[in-house]
Amino acid sequence: DVKVTQSSRYLVKRTGEKVFLECVQDMDHENMFWYRQDPGLGLRLIYFSYDVKMKEKGDIPEGYSVSREKKERFSLILESASTNQTSMYLCASEIAVRGEQYFGPGTRLTVT
Amino acid sequence: DAKTTQPNSMESNEEEPVHLPCNHSTISGTDYIHWYRQLPSQGPEYVIHGLTSNVNNRMASLAIAEDRKSSTLILHRATLRDAAVYYCILRDVGSGGSNYKLTFGKGTLLTVNP
């Protein structure tokens, strides 16, 4: 089975802190994604990557950056956390053009 | 993005079949129909997808109308573990860029009664 893991299930950070969310997949998938999920807004794409060192902005990239130095690992970085970035963050991966995305368990981030 | 319409909620009894409908009247010829579900406190889980023909896998069946303007996800025997929000999503995998994203709507909350 495909496995996508995320570094933390729950995280509490202070406003202004730099936050790293890590995602690792074990199936050699080309594409990896970061979404956030908020009540009433559904899942929204932040960034995605279709190859090592390649990235593209999603719908809401402001305040975030990403890093993909190895194929299996995709990191989401909040340069200076703000309270409006309190959310559930979900990582996903997929084989290119296969169309099935596999999600991690999510990280619930609270910024105080 | 082409839009989908699903009922807000549905209820079923354990061990009975469940038919979850989805309308997508503005679907384009290269849109695939995807279904995902999300159990409480978990990330979404891929269920099934198809283009024109009906599809079956170990989790469910997908019945696609001949005009492709609607589809139905069929759970053959609902269990308590099938209680989740089910999302019907259109995705054009024929091109790259922002079409890689999945656009989740509100979905259908399925309640399974014992």
DSSP assignment string, A61-91: -TTEEEEEEETTEEEEEESS--GGG-EEEEE
Which residues on A lie below 8 Å from B49 (Cβ)? 99-100
C-alpha span between B87 and B108 (Å, rounded): 7
Whether B16 contacts B78, CB under 8 Å: yes
pLDDT tens profile A8-50: 999 999 999 999 999 999 989 989 999 999 988 888 999 999 8
Is A50 an interface residue toward B (CB < 8 Å)? yes
Is B43 an interface residue toward A (CB < 8 Å)? yes
Mean pLDDT of B42-70: 94
Which residues on B lie below 8 Å from A100 (Cβ)? 46, 49
Which residues on A lie below 8 Å from B93 (Cβ)? 97, 99
Is A97 an interface residue toward B (CB < 8 Å)? yes
Q: What is the mean pLDDT of chain B?
A: 90
* Contact: B43, A100; criterion CB under 8 Å: no
pLDDT tens profile A92-109: 998 766 678 999 999 999
Strands (E), chain B: 9-13, 18-23, 31-38, 45-50, 55-56, 61-64, 70-75, 84-92, 108-113
Tokens for B45?
Answer: 């889980």
**What's the pLDDT band for B92 if we cut at 50, 70, 90?**
confident
Closest approach of B66 to chain A, Cα-based (Å): 22
C-alpha span between A15 and A81 (Å, rounded): 5
